[in-house]
């Protein structure tokens, strides 16, 4: 469902309390005279001298290594155009909030009143001593190409124009997975691109690096198909000009496998969509209104796969899936640039994550317990907490392997924990517990394995090597749920208590010996073993499992009583602690 934003609500949000969305918070104590002396004069002279002796010490004694500049001149603010540097500041502050929220990166937003590319380059380049990286934002084409390329060439810190590469990386991940869903080879597809700005050009270049054949690409702008015989083509458009006998957008749609729109809203018709090839892929990424409305496009043909830039429809191509984690990985190895290898690693990591089981925290956030890889779930959701531990390490490894990293990471498990701590300091205790669990995975019996939530939890434990699940329940039903929810539980033991009469009798006789003078007959004990809570508790009692998890579908007394009957308590214990969620 779309979130309706009222104008006054948005204005109130930015004015309540302190105006804007960001503030500077000290990271060291400042509560005594000594603290002040250490933070400033005279104590601050000592790190200054260390940095003077070796400039690399700036990463050791200052925040440079975790500080990114978000820089714009306000000439191409998304959906608003050339509104100027002051008016772009709320967007840049917002970008800073996302960096901090999703990757623990600090940001200074810098709005510069300069449209001349060469002067802007000079200003940004002079900021290199302050920042560990630079995120260029909302700078119009074609100037943005010259600015980014020059800065990347002349500066030794990560530089990325997110309008170009963020969209390319995220939509590239979506393209990888969409082609897998429809069973098409990337080298064979016909790609139609509508738009010739920074995002469209960067996306097209990135798709070529993914494997799209340049000869199969048609790009359109406001004048129609960009053809080689068009007069006065600029160098950027000339790169994608075609000699195919196509002149209009409508003609270019015929037989296209993929449409990438980075242009204007509501300019594509159902008839154009109908003319595309079988199992077409439509990425209508114009904001706030896509080139064709989602509902209209999806009602046009059943075999369509579609993505937009909107959060109220499936497959949102949202740059927040990329830039926080790309910079996180780059900063953590002090990369001197963000190169093609790092961008490719990010796209492939995003694509791979979409195929993994979605944790319940994501299901709850989006009110959908059936999020599985397929036509309506090509890329992860922005609130997926696994993004940082998936993308940042992939980017860091690519930086190391491609030779642009100034430091190396050797303990990837420790790095994974560090990343998780950056986005939630209150998770540290849980992180330590998980780390210890991985060193010695225990056998955990799930008594209610015929429930999709339980199976997803088991999948996560199994996939992360935190525990060895044992599933109790009807095997046919469990297998059906596994297939329905696209889970990978291969190798996990499934036990149906009803299928092994000998074990039921064996377990029942053991229970009878425990309870024969406490109101239970031998036949009742054998019958009780068909209850999976009794059966699972007996597995724990006999050392066939280390733990039992139950209680999702039954109330507390019915869940705990079998454990008390089978396992019991120590002789010196007369109270049982209660632990419920």
CB 555 within 8 A of CB 470: no
- The residue to which tokens 């999020």 are assigned: 371
**What per-residue confidence (pLDDT) applies to 13?**
83
Quick one: tokens of 497? Answer: 């208590």
Which pLDDT belongs to residue 312?
84
Q: Which long-range contacts (CB under 8 A, 24 or more apart) does 291-298 make?
A: 291/194, 291/259, 291/261, 291/263, 291/264, 291/265, 291/266, 291/267, 292/261, 292/266, 292/267, 292/268, 293/266, 296/270, 297/268, 297/270, 297/273
Residue 464 has pLDDT above 80, yes or no: no
pLDDT band at 2 (very low <50, low <70, confident <90, very high): very low
- Rounded to a whole number of angstroms, the CA Rg of the chain reads 29
Burial (CB count within 10 angstroms: exposed 0-12, middle 13-18, buried 19+), residue 363: middle
Same fold, 165-317 and 441-566: yes
User: What's the DSSP call for residue 293?
Assistant: -
Q: Which of 162-176, 393-407, 473-487 has the lowest mean pLDDT?
A: 473-487
* Torsional class of 104: left (φ above 0), alpha (ψ -120 to 50), beta (otherwise): left
- Please give the structure tokens belonging to residue 295: 């509902």
Select the more confidently predicted residue: 569 or 131.
131
Q: How many of the other CB atoms lie within 10 Å of CB of 242?
A: 19
DSSP-derived secondary structure letter, 81? B
Burial (CB < 10 A; 0-12, 13-18, 19+), residue 230, is: middle
Would you say residue 121 has pLDDT above 70?
Answer: yes
Mean pLDDT to the nearest integer, 356-366: 81
Whether 502 shows a pLDDT value over 50: the answer reads yes
Query: Rounded to whole angstroms, how far apart are CA atoms 321 and 351?
Result: 11
CA–CA dist 379, 199 (Å, integer): 19
CA distances from 32 to 28, 29, 37, 117, 290 (A): 11, 8, 9, 47, 56
What is the three-class DSSP state of 351?
Answer: helix
User: Which DSSP helix (H) or strand (E) runs through 210?
Assistant: helix 198-210
Distances (CA, A) of 447 to 359, 398, 462, 492: 20, 43, 16, 14
- Model pTM? 0.76
DSSP 277: P
Look up residue 350 and give its two tokens: 């995003």
Summarised one tens digit per residue, pLDDT across range 231-288 is 888 888 999 999 999 999 999 999 999 999 999 999 999 999 999 999 999 999 998 8
Angle between helices 387-401 and 412-422 (to 10 degrees): 130
- Predicted local confidence at residue 432, as pLDDT: 57
Is residue 143 within 8 Å of 117, Cβ to Cβ? yes
Asked if the model's pLDDT at residue 425 lies above 70, the reply is: no
Q: Give 131: exposed, middle or buried? Use CB within 10 Å, 0-12, 13-18, 19+.
A: buried
How far apart CA 219 and CA 281 sit, in angstroms, is: 16
Return the domain boundaries, the chain.
7-27+63-157, 165-317, 441-566
Q: Using pLDDT thresholds of 50, 70 and 90, give the confidence band for residue 433.
A: low
Q: How far is CA 111 from CA 72, 115, 148, 151, 393, in A?
A: 5, 11, 16, 17, 31
Predicted pLDDT at 476: 92
Distance CA 546, CA 440 (A): 11
Q: Are 147 and 121 in contact (CB under 8 A)?
A: yes
pLDDT surpassing 70 at residue 467 = yes
Say which residues have a Cβ less than 8 Å from residue 40's Cβ, sequence separation at least 6.
Answer: none
pLDDT-above-70 percentage for the chain? 96
d(C-alpha 577, C-alpha 581), whole Å? 13
Q: Record the tokens describing residue 541, joined without a space.
A: 């009692």
In the structure, what pLDDT confidence band is assigned to residue 423 with cuts at 50, 70 and 90? confident
Looking at the predicted structure, is the pLDDT value of residue 434 above 50?
A: yes
- Higher pLDDT: 517 or 59? It is 59
Residue 554 known to be catalytic: no
CB atoms inside a 10 Å sphere around CB 554: 15
Does 7-27+63-157 carry CATH code 3.40.50.300?
A: no
> Percent helix, strand, coil in the chain (nearest 5)?
50, 10, 40
How far does CA 312 lie from the centroid of its chain? 17
Q: Please name the fold of domain 441-566.
A: Rossmann fold (3.40.50)
Tell me whether residue 40 is one of the annotated catalytic residues: yes
Domain 165-317's class? alpha beta
d(C-alpha 504, C-alpha 500), whole Å: 6
Q: How far apart are CA 531 and CA 540, in angstroms?
A: 15
pLDDT confidence band for 128 (50 / 70 / 90): very high
Taking the CB of residue 405, how many other CB atoms lie within 10 A of it?
21
Q: What is the mean pLDDT of residues 130-152?
A: 95
Mapped onto helix, strand or coil, the DSSP state of residue 284 is: strand
> What is the per-residue pLDDT for 3?
54
Catalytic residue among 95, 343, 381, 397: 95
Q: Give the strand order in the sheet containing 547-549.
A: 493-495, 467-472, 442-446, 547-549
Cβ count within 10 A of residue 416? 18
The burial of 263, by beta-carbon neighbours within 10 Å (0-12 exposed, 13-18 middle, 19 or more buried), is given as buried
Backbone angles phi, psi at 549, to 5 degrees: -120, 125
Beta bridge partners of 161: 136
Residue tagged active-site, from 4, 13, 21, 40 = 40
**How many residues does the structure list for the chain?**
581
């Amino acid at each position: 469902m779309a979130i309706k934003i009222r104008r006054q609500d948005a204005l109130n949000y930015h004015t309540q309390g302190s105006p804007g969305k960001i503030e500077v918070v000290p990271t060291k104590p400042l509560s005594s005279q000594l603290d002040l002396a250490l933070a400033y004069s005279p104590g601050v002279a000592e790190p200054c001298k260390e940095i003077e002796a070796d400039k690399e010490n700036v990463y050791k004694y200052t925040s440079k290594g975790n500080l990114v500049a978000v820089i714009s001149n306000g000439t191409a603010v998304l959906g608003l155009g050339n509104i100027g540097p002051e008016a772009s500041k709320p967007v840049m502050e917002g970008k800073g909030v996302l960096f901090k929220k999703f990757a623990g990166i600090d940001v200074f937003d810098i709005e510069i009143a300069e449209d001349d590319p060469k002067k802007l380059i000079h200003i940004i380049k002079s900021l290199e001593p302050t920042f560990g990286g630079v995120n260029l934002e909302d700078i119009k084409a074609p100037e943005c190409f010259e600015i980014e390329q020059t800065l990347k060439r002349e500066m030794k810190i990560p530089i990325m124009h997110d309008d170009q590469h963020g969209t390319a990386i995220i939509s590239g991940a979506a393209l990888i997975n969409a082609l897998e869903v429809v069973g098409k080879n990337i080298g064979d597809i016909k790609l139609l691109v509508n738009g010739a700005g920074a995002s469209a050009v960067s996306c097209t270049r990135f798709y070529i690096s993914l494997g799209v054949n340049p000869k199969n690409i048609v790009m359109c702008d406001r004048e129609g198909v960009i053809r080689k015989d068009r007069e006065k083509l600029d160098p950027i458009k000339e790169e994608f000009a075609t000699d195919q006998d196509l002149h209009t957008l409508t003609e270019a749609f015929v037989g296209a496998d993929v449409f990438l729109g980075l242009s204007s809203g509501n300019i594509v018709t159902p008839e154009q969509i109908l003319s595309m090839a079988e199992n077409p892929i439509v990425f209508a990424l114009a904001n706030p209104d896509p080139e064709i409305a989602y509902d209209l496009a999806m009602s046009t043909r059943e075999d369509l796969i579609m993505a937009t830039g909107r959060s109220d429809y499936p497959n949102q191509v949202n740059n927040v899936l990329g830039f926080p984690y790309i910079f996180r990985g780059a900063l953590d190895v002090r990369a001197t640039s963000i190169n093609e290898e790092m961008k490719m690693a990010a796209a492939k990591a995003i694509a791979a994550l979409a195929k993994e089981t979605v944790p319940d925290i994501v299901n709850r956030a989006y009110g959908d317990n059936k999020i599985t890889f397929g036509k309506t779930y090509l890329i992860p959701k922005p609130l997926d907490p696994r993004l940082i531990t998936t993308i940042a390490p992939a980017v860091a490894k690519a930086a190391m392997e491609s030779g642009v990293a100034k430091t190396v990471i050797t303990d990837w498990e420790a790095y994974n924990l560090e990343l998780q701590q950056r986005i939630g300091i209150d998770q540290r205790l849980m992180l330590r517990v998980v780390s210890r669990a991985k060193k010695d995975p225990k056998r955990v019996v799930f008594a209610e394995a015929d429930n999709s939530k339980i199976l997803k939890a088991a999948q996560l434990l199994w996939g992360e090597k935190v525990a060895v699940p044992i599933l109790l329940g009807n095997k046919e039903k469990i297998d059906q749920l596994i297939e329905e929810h696209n889970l990978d539980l291969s190798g996990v033991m499934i036990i149906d208590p009803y299928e092994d009469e000998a074990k039921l009798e064996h377990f029942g006789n053991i229970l009878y010996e425990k309870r024969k003078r406490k109101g239970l007959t031998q036949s009742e004990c054998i019958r009780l073993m068909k209850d999976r809570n009794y059966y699972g508790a007996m597995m724990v009692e006999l050392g066939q499992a280390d733990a039992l998890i139950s209680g999702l579908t039954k109330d507390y007394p019915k869940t705990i009583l079998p454990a008390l009957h089978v396992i019991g308590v120590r002789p010196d214990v007369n109270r049982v602690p209660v632990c419920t969620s």
